[in-house]
Structure 1
Amino acid sequence: MTGPPVDAPLEEVVSTDPRDGRELGRYPLHSAADVAAAVTAARRAASWWSGLGYAARRSRLDAWRRLILRRVSELVELISAETGKTTADAQLEAILVVDHLRWAAAHAGKVLRRRHVRPGLLMYNHSATVDHHPLGVVGVIGPWNYPAFIPIGPIAHALAAGNTVVFKPSEYTPGVGKWLADTLGEVVGEQTVLEAVFGFGDTGAALCTSGVDKVAFTGSTSTGKRVMAACAESLTPVLLECGGKDAMLVDRDADIAAAADAAVWGGLSNAGQTCVGVERVYVHQAVAERFTELVVENAAALRTGVGRDADIGPMATREQPSIVAEHIRDALARGARAALGGPDSVRPSTVEPVVLTEVREGSLALTEETFGPVIVVNRVATMDEAVAQANACAYGLGAAVYSRARGPQIARKLRVGMVSVNSVLAFAGVPGLPFGGTGASGFGRVHGPEGLREFTRTQSITRQRVRPFLRPLSFERSPRTMDALMRLIRIVYG
């Protein structure tokens, strides 16, 4: 959990535009007492919200979606201003927000409705059901790289399941968080079911210990560990979507032009600040030379800057360029080759595309999240070698495979939560697919049916329908009862 920027007044959170440094807004710095008050208010609203039922909640969430669409230009401008991303990237984020919100509202009732289970032979005289109840209040801690799309996953699914939400947006993007909370408040006027709290690491820590019923966190792995440790004190369950070091595997039979285009977009869009972005590519040696040429050619044609005609905008935080530069220098010092760009590509606020080849395993550019417009391209002799290298990383978020004949076969060997075959990041655009990783990338899922169930407590209920002929669950049972049951089990299951 980060602290305040050195020049920010401690009583406020100041939002600035990374493109020119201009101030965008000031927000109250919420204390632990403020967070506790927000959770208490959310607890009161939770009873009313859950009591509405799925249909009434869906109508309100649909109204929120329609309001977002009517004012989507506001959201796009705000995302672009607070993150520095291009208008096109901000528009794509807004589209994803609307689509995932629609899916959660439309499917919650079907996914979470009461389910009947066969009782089995021993409990033949019972009915058995599974219910999914809302948890109550969910705390959501969001990131700055996709300040609307990433948090809308847990927010929309938690709300659709019947929970209220206290949302701490990143200190870099408080305006987007406030906009989301305010717009929902316009269509749900009875009570506040989404409350935004603002601050730095201390505010996030306060949310973890505030008594919420679950915390959904998206951010770095190191911060995720601290979130989990704070929640462990009260056994508050957590959903962690942490960093990634996603790999692309390119087989010898792949469409090389399409794969190169995808690698450049997957690795460089949003200035490379995407948790499921392509950071390393393992390409079959038979096509490696041509693939690398195309990647360099496509990346070199992109425009980097702060203007509206830029393909790649500035880095969203002041710390990130130095991390990118460290990874580039470390790789080159270990013998890597810069096919495009290099240390001089890193400037105080922008980073031009960098393509590194022959990067040795163990380099920071292959083991740690770079989160910048840097693509590593290493050649391999076989796809088995590519799979082994991809799986050697501690992270396990997403991946991509390009192969005409063996895409799904290769994909299933990867130790990651999501894979796109002959595309990149496609899994993030399918609202019904669960999103999440393994290993250092965290655990739990947002999106899809699994994302809805994450924000419920499961309750199993059995009900005796008729008195049993035999009574094995009683001290009044006789040896003849158990002998009869044993004979029956042998006949039925033997």
Structure 2
Amino acid sequence: MVSTLKMRNPATAELLGEVKEATREDVQKAMTVAQSARSIWEGVLLKERLGYMKRLRENIVDQADELADHIAKDTGKVKLEALMSDIYPTVGMIRYYERKAASILKTKRVPTPMILMGRTSRVEYRPMGVVAVISPWNYPFQLSMVPIVSALIAGNVVLYKPSEISSWTGKVIEGLFSSLALPKGVFQVLQGGKDTGRHLVDSHPDKIFFTGSVATGKKIMQSASEGLIPVELELGGKDPMLVFADADLDRAVNGALWGGYTNAGQTCMAVERVYVESSIYDEFVRRVKEKTETLRMGWTDEADLGSMTSLQQINIVESHLRDAVEKGARILCGGKRINRETLHFQPTVLVNVDHSMRVMQEETFGPVLPIMPFSSEEEAVELANATPYGLNASIWSTDMQKANRIAAKMDSGNVCINDVMVGVANPHLPYGGNKESGVGRYHGPEGLLTFVHPTSVVTHPGKKTREMNWFPYSKEQYEAVLSLIRLFYGSNPVQGLKGLKQIVKEFFRSE
């Protein structure tokens, strides 16, 4: 029986179309084709692979307005956010790799220690093979395209499963790659839900790159471990924002609003917890509430906030708010859906919160700003690090010495000072999380190196029949090795010099 996924605009409930879900047999067939294509793509010169990606970038830019419209309809986000947070980072990353990939992936000569005299050493970066990219629905274009492009540039072939919630963007991406006329099997799309994802993991790819929830990431890691498949997991966050009394308050308030509400709060790097120094807490809360109430919801070019994308996620947001209110929290504004036909959820300011509440411990992934006071730098750091997550943190202070000192104490893969979430937009920087926020890094040089096997190669001219460390062993050989260790690594190299004659003798002895 053929199963299909219905694609709807969550902001209007408009039916966009249907796609067929890939079965186990479809996945196995795709894997067979990919295995046949891997040697072909690996044999394509890096310069040619980058040529394909250059054309891809240019096609994306040429179609940017249309693509932004597609992404907005698929996710319910406003069109500017689709352009700004999905398309812009993607083309920026492609351009970065066009310029940097050759130096990142170039074979590198490395020093050879004295004891291995006569040899040369190098590191080669070899493709892994078939990479499975499983992407999320919140930024379905950027969070699909960047790992796909990175894996392809590094010489791998890709099996790509879009989220079942944003299948239409998956179709759009498939169309962009179809226009490149890549060799058969280099890039294939497998639409579907959890079953398709499980079949893809079970097909034993050479690497799995997953972006999504912590719960699903743990299941993928467990399944992958049975075949020792390397995984990279870009997971959730519960990102803290620390606002000190000496911060620029207007900037901090505006940063909190954008960091908490952009993409309807459905961002793994979103501001999900705000800690404000007690002396400015009341004023900060007043301004945040006041500005939150001016934000425009809808789905037009004039809207600030679009809809949420997933009904299941709305249920999580509502459960977090219920739990918080039951434990004493107070909703200052927002806190509910606009209607039951679409997935618009009001931006919400929450106070009287503490760490006994789910909204301060679990990823909410919605337009909710819980705000809590702190009284000291030490307390702020302790609160910020007191969750299982460690993806992003922001520090707000005009005292740069203090801000940098606190940033160094954040158990987080990414930190911003007087800014929010922008690290992900700099293609030179690695991106990823600590603790339950993920495993591994991509973007920057790490974004290519995560898709290759660094391979060490040592070369000897091969003109000697024996090395000093080979059989047969002798007392003289022992003394020579001991002298070498003392000479290069001991506190008194003179001891090693005493055996220099024996070292030379053993080194040049070939019989």
**When the two structures are superposed, what TM-score results if normalisation uses the length of structure 1?**
0.94
TM-superposed deviation, 1:365: 0.4
- The 5 A counterparts of 1:91-106 are 91-92=83-84, 93-106=86-99
TM-superposed deviation, 1:260: 0.9
Conservation of the 8 A alpha-carbon contact between 1:354 and 1:374: yes
Q: Distance in 1 between matches of 2:183 and 2:220?
A: 32
Question: Does structure 1 residue 383 correspond to structure 2 residue 377?
Answer: yes
- The 5 A counterparts of 1:85-96 are 85-92=77-84, 93-96=86-89
- Matched position secondary structure for 1:305: coil
Using a 3 Å threshold, how does the CA distance of structure 1 residues 455 and 438 change in structure 2: closer, same or farther?
same
- The 5 A counterparts of 1:146-157 are 146-157=139-150
- Matched position secondary structure for 1:130: strand
Question: What amino acid is the match of 2:389?
Answer: Y
Match of 1:463 in 2: 459
TM-superposed deviation, 1:470: 8.9
Using a 3 Å threshold, how does the CA distance of structure 1 residues 297 and 465 change in structure 2: closer, same or farther?
farther
Using a 3 Å threshold, how does the CA distance of structure 1 residues 237 and 34 change in structure 2: closer, same or farther?
same
Question: Does structure 1 residue 262 correspond to structure 2 residue 255?
Answer: yes
What is the percentage of aligned positions where both structures have the same residue?
A: 37
TM-superposed deviation, 1:233: 2.2
- Matched position secondary structure for 1:125: coil
Match of 1:31 in 2: 23
Match of 2:307 in 1: 314
Conservation of the 8 A alpha-carbon contact between 2:160 and 2:187: yes
Within the candidate set 218, 243, 254, 1:250 is matched to: 243
Within the candidate set 41, 44, 56, 2:33 is matched to: 41
Conservation of the 8 A alpha-carbon contact between 1:126 and 1:466: no
Question: Does structure 1 residue 473 correspond to structure 2 residue 465?
Answer: no
Q: Distance in 1 between matches of 2:464 and 2:253?
A: 67
Q: Distance in 2 between matches of 1:255 and 1:383?
A: 17
Question: What amino acid is the match of 2:104?
Answer: V
Conservation of the 8 A alpha-carbon contact between 1:417 and 1:438: yes
- Matched position secondary structure for 2:116: coil
Question: Does structure 1 residue 404 correspond to structure 2 residue 398?
Answer: yes
Match of 1:290 in 2: 283
Question: Does structure 1 residue 367 correspond to structure 2 residue 341?
Answer: no
Q: Distance in 2 between matches of 1:472 and 1:290?
A: 75
Between 11-20 and 158-167, the greater mean CA deviation after superposition = 11-20
TM-superposed deviation, 1:434: 1.1
Match of 2:316 in 1: 323
Conservation of the 8 A alpha-carbon contact between 1:104 and 1:156: no
Q: What are the superposed Cα offsets for residues 220-271 of structure 1, whole Å, 9 maximum, x if unpaired? A: 1111111112222222111111111111111222111101100100100100
TM-superposed deviation, 1:489: 2.6
Q: Distance in 1 between matches of 2:50 and 2:108?
A: 20
Question: What amino acid is the match of 2:201?
Answer: C
Q: Distance in 1 between matches of 2:33 and 2:135?
A: 21
Between 129-138 and 248-257, the greater mean CA deviation after superposition = 248-257
Q: Distance in 2 between matches of 1:221 and 1:10?
A: 30
Within the candidate set 161, 183, 205, 1:168 is matched to: 161
Match of 1:109 in 2: 102
Question: Does structure 1 residue 432 correspond to structure 2 residue 441?
Answer: no
- Matched position secondary structure for 1:66: helix
Conservation of the 8 A alpha-carbon contact between 2:269 and 2:421: yes
Q: Distance in 2 between matches of 1:53 and 1:261?
A: 47
- Matched position secondary structure for 1:369: coil
Question: What amino acid is the match of 1:195?
Answer: Q
Q: Distance in 1 between matches of 2:78 and 2:338?
A: 19
Between 440-449 and 401-410, the greater mean CA deviation after superposition = 401-410
Question: Does structure 1 residue 127 correspond to structure 2 residue 120?
Answer: yes
Question: What amino acid is the match of 1:78?
Answer: H
Gaps of 5+ in 2: 491-511
Q: Distance in 2 between matches of 1:297 and 1:329?
A: 23
Q: Distance in 2 between matches of 1:61 and 1:130?
A: 25
Match of 1:4 in 2: none
TM-superposed deviation, 1:467: 6.2
Question: Does structure 1 residue 53 correspond to structure 2 residue 45?
Answer: yes
Q: Distance in 2 between matches of 1:246 and 1:310?
A: 25
Conservation of the 8 A alpha-carbon contact between 2:430 and 2:447: yes
- The 5 A counterparts of 1:408-427 are 408-427=404-423
Using a 3 Å threshold, how does the CA distance of structure 1 residues 236 and 428 change in structure 2: closer, same or farther?
same
Using a 3 Å threshold, how does the CA distance of structure 1 residues 485 and 273 change in structure 2: closer, same or farther?
same
Conservation of the 8 A alpha-carbon contact between 2:337 and 2:344: no
- Matched position secondary structure for 1:448: coil
- Matched position secondary structure for 2:140: coil
Q: What are the superposed Cα offsets for residues 124-179 of structure 1, whole Å, 9 maximum, x if unpaired? A: 22211111100111000010000001122211110110111110001111121122
Question: What amino acid is the match of 2:358?
Answer: L
- Matched position secondary structure for 1:296: helix
Conservation of the 8 A alpha-carbon contact between 2:285 and 2:371: yes
Question: Does structure 1 residue 17 correspond to structure 2 residue 9?
Answer: yes
- Matched position secondary structure for 1:79: helix
Match of 1:5 in 2: none
Between 187-196 and 435-444, the greater mean CA deviation after superposition = 187-196
TM-superposed deviation, 1:21: 1.4
Match of 2:479 in 1: 483
Conservation of the 8 A alpha-carbon contact between 2:394 and 2:417: yes
TM-superposed deviation, 1:121: 2.6
Match of 1:63 in 2: 55
Question: What amino acid is the match of 1:395?
Answer: Y
TM-superposed deviation, 1:10: 6.1
TM-superposed deviation, 1:350: 1.6
Question: What amino acid is the match of 2:483?
Answer: R
Gaps of 5+ in 1: 1-8
Q: Distance in 2 between matches of 1:188 and 1:105?
A: 19
Between 429-438 and 404-413, the greater mean CA deviation after superposition = 404-413
Match of 1:351 in 2: 345
Match of 1:6 in 2: none
Conservation of the 8 A alpha-carbon contact between 1:185 and 1:192: no
> Aligned pair count?
486
Match of 2:441 in 1: 445
**When the two structures are superposed, what TM-score results if normalisation uses the length of structure 2?**
0.91
Conservation of the 8 A alpha-carbon contact between 2:259 and 2:270: yes
Report which of the two structures shows the higher radius of gyration computed on alpha carbons: 2
Question: Does structure 1 residue 118 correspond to structure 2 residue 111?
Answer: yes
Q: Distance in 2 between matches of 1:142 and 1:408?
A: 33
TM-superposed deviation, 1:383: 2.1
Question: What amino acid is the match of 1:387?
Answer: V
